[in-house]
Amino acid sequence: MGAVVRVFTGTGGVSRPAGRLLVGLIAIVPFALFSGWTANALAHATSGLKAVRYRDLRMLVPRSWPVYELAADPTACVRFDRHAVYLGQPSAQQRCPAHAVGPTEAILVQPLAAHDARAGADRPALRLPTNPGALGQGSAARVAMPARGLVVTATWREDRGLVERALGIRELRAATASLAPVPRYRQHAVRARAASGMAGGAAVYTGLGFDACSAPSAAHMAAWASSPYRAIGIYLGGANLACAQPNLTPGWVAQEAAAGWHLIPTYVGLQAPRNECGCAGINPGRASAEGAAAADDAIEQAQSLGIGAGNPIYFDMENYARGGTNTSSVLAFLAAWTSQLRADGFRSGVYSNADSGMLDLIGRLGTGYPEPDDIWFADWNGKATASDPYIPAGDWSAGQRLHQYDGAHNETHGGVTINIDGDYLDGLTAGSSTSIATDVAPYPQLQVTPLANGRVSLRANWNGTSNVNAWQLLAGSSPQNLSPFGSAIKGTAAGITILLHSEFPYFAVQALGSGQQAVGNGEQGAGSGQQAAANGEPVVGTSPAVATPAHLAIYGPAAYVSPGGVGGLPTGCFAASFWCAISTEITAGRAVIARTGPELLSADGGLLMFRLSRAGRALLARAAGRRLLVHVMARDAGGPTVNSTLSLIPFATTGPSQAHSSSDPPALRIVGGTQFVSNGVVGGILTACSDDAPCLVRTKVTSAGATIASTGAETLGANELGYMIFRLTARGRTMLARARGNRLPARAALSDQSDTATANITLVSFR
């Protein structure tokens, strides 16, 4: 965790970890303007600079900066406490020090397709705060360049301008500050499915462990099975995270837990206002709010790795000088951290030096202060024991202690060398191999499977009990904010499958029984206070909240293609980010008839545009019934891929169309300006419902002052994209048939209770 700085006091000596590299928050910002050098920037391109190229990106950096080609040197550690340029994807075999201190000016350029896609899954090379309340806490920026297929991560300590000039960006601060508001669906980002292989939950482990700046690869962990260690510290994220984490995925967590490793989830957040590591610090006036925000983010990071409620998360508070604003800010921050974790069903842990953070916590014992459940104290005295002269014997004495007794050093086991800190544990860890002592599962189980067409398949069952008469689905934007969705459905413990037209970041289920005593521990389930269903049947068990896996969806059975071969695919983006960068390939038989580079699509979905090749246009022109059956594969740069089969339908128009304009309320959005009508009779308006409940939509279409279509209420699922179907009146059919250039200007009004979305649209007929 830290470099050794020996400090001796009058009461005895304790060696202090000075801290890891603690990189500031990295805000994810789409980058539209990647300008060339300004005149002022060119003035700096003197003999003191050198040109560095990666693909078609050119940078000018100081000559003294080393350049690491990560593909050529897989052991190179991506860290930001040193001036450097890193090119490529951080390797699973990187060799990192156990400690690194303070951010400085550095740049990482990696392929967009590899970013967020390690191990099939899921996680970025640098773990970022996901809670909006944690944004703005550091000195770093992440810039996406879909046209180049690159992502640039830049950090700085004092000279932001140096990095800006190197990249040719006028203002990184402005880029960071321009982060768009999070769409309603993304208030809590969708995360990858929790690892199903996770063996057991929280358990006290007694024995040796270690922590390293970057999680070792699975192969290195297997080699270290010959070591005396059986616990490992893993770093989930935080505003002051140290190293890239290419290995840390849900699959890695599940595999290592199943192999018997006890995990110490650790979050490297804001530090004391006056700290020794040059790290992003706590704002004394916002210490409580920042502590709660850190806990919220840590929970999301943990759940994204399959580490659920009931497990501990340790906050890493590096060494600081006690007293005054430092002590008051740290205590207020950690109090909020502990309270928020407990409110959400997690256990609170705190790591700090024995003679700084630990002494401040000890001083509040017995005062009503929300003390952490477990402590992890650093005293590099070389004694592998849970006792320490700074910690009274009666404090945190019931299997609640971890001791970091040794600082950064190399050890080799199974032929693999890792730089580690040494730990002795007699405290709580996550992912133990403890098995449940009964054949009855402690709570219902839920599987969430997104389908290619936008539906979600949910499979609920409860093995080993018969006291289930019905199931109630819960859904919401976070594990702590789930509400009943729809009515209870009759079913037994053997299981039920629900096909849902609505998309939510999280789901859970309640098992409804006949009034007998509930099975298992309700604290393991989702939500709180939900003890009876709306129909009066008692809740006998609630599943843990399950994150909907990151995915894409393609809506509707058809896509419409202009004479020039241009068409659009109605697509939903449900990824762990604010946008998707999607590449598309369309094939007819074995022939590829359209291929696109990355297109940015916002989190609430829209149209993916494509252009057919000449061969594709010829195939469409000859297709029987004017329908060409094709296969579509769309892949997000972050990993999710969707495959769909649909029909391409040609249409023809001439002349200009009216300008599209819309006025959309929060719940509804009309997508696109051209809406298609089959044989001049039945049409559909592509619409997005971004509400937390299904939209009940009434459609009205007018043209030249006349109402040419109106419908009753149609249901569009929550966070779903779909067509609102209408039938033209006789007058409307006549107007469209006579429309110049097969374009009928119209006005659409879609109403959902009190909200109405309106737009100027163009109706186009196709056969």
Give the Cα separation of 259 and 466 in Å (integer).
Answer: 33
Tokens encoding 74: 């897989």
**The pLDDT value given to residue 5:** 28
The DSSP 8-state label assigned to residue 126 in this structure reads S
What per-residue confidence (pLDDT) applies to 172?
A: 56
Indicate the pLDDT class of residue 133, thresholds 50, 70 and 90. very low
For residue 590, is pLDDT > 60?
yes
pLDDT, residue 130, reads 44
Of 531, 432, 577, the C-alpha closest to 129 is 577
Separation of alpha carbons 55 and 50, rounded Å = 16
C-beta of residue 297 within 8 angstroms of C-beta of residue 39: no
Residue 621: predicted pLDDT: 94
Query: What is the pLDDT at residue 440?
Result: 53
Q: If DSSP states are collapsed to H, E and C, what string results for 446-507?
A: EEEEECCCCCEEEEEECCCCCCCCEEEEEEECCCCCEEECCCCEECCCCCEEEEECCCCCEE
Query: Which of 13-27, 438-452, 498-512 holds the top average pLDDT?
Result: 498-512
Which positions ≥6 away from 682 have C-beta within 8 Å? 725, 726, 727, 728
Give the residue, 752 or 440, on which the prediction is more confident. 752
Residue carrying the six token digits 């003035």: 43
66 CB-contact burial (10 Å; exposed 0-12 / middle 13-18 / buried 19+)? exposed
Residue 46 has pLDDT above 70, yes or no: no
**What pLDDT score was predicted for residue 743?**
93
- For the chain, give the mean pLDDT: 79
**68 within 8 A of 84, measured Cβ to Cβ:** yes
* pLDDT > 50? residue 95: yes
Least confident range of 165-169, 276-280, 386-390, 532-536:
532-536
Average pLDDT over residues 616-632: 93
Residue 516 has pLDDT above 70, yes or no: no
- The answer, yes or no, to whether residue 569 has pLDDT greater than 80, is yes
Q: 172 or 93, which is more confident?
A: 93
The string of DSSP codes covering 127-157 is ----SGGGTT-SSEEEEEETTTTEEEEEE-S
Q: Across-strand partners of 766?
A: 678
Q: For the residues 579-598, what does the mean pLDDT come to?
A: 92
Q: How confident is the model at residue 98 (pLDDT cuts 50, 70, 90)?
A: confident
Residue with tokens 């009216």: 658
Q: What is the pLDDT of residue 364?
A: 93
Distances 35 to 31, 39, 131 between C-alpha atoms, Å: 10, 12, 30
The SS3 of residue 376 is strand
Q: Which residue has the higher pLDDT, 180 or 133?
A: 133
Crossing angle, helix 287-304 and helix 324-343, to 10 degrees? 40
Question: What residues are paired with 429 via a beta bridge?
Answer: 203
Residue 362's nearest CA partner among 324, 334, 404, 325 is: 334
User: Quick one: pLDDT at residue 62?
Assistant: 93
- Higher-confidence residue of 330 and 21: namely 330
Look at residue 174 and give its three-state secondary structure.
Answer: helix
Task: Please indicate whether residue 762 or residue 171 has the higher confidence score (pLDDT).
Answer: 762
pLDDT tens readout for residues 230-287: 999 999 888 777 677 878 888 888 888 888 899 999 998 889 999 888 788 899 999 9
Q: Is the pLDDT of residue 721 over 70?
A: yes
Strand order in the sheet with 496-500: 445-450, 456-461, 496-500
Tell me whether residue 11 is exposed, middle or buried, using C-beta atoms within 10 angstroms of its C-beta: 0 to 12, 13 to 18, 19 or more.
Answer: exposed
Q: What pTM does this model have? A: 0.50
pLDDT(308) > 90: no
Distance of CA 687 to the CA centre of its chain: 26
In the predicted structure, residue 11 carries a pLDDT above the cut 60: no
Mean pLDDT of 335-356: 93
Residues 6 or more apart in contact with residue 275 via CB below 8 angstroms: 19, 281, 318, 319, 320
Tokens describing residue 73: 């040197």
Q: Specify the pLDDT at position 647.
A: 94
pLDDT at 462 over 50: yes
User: How confident is the model over 590-607, as a mean pLDDT?
Assistant: 89
Instruction: Return the pLDDT at 103.
Output: 66
Average pLDDT over residues 701-718: 94
Q: Residue written as tokens 């299997």?
A: 399
Say if residue 622's pLDDT is above 90: yes
Percent pLDDT > 90 in the chain is: 41
Nearest to 604 by CA among 62, 306, 190: 190
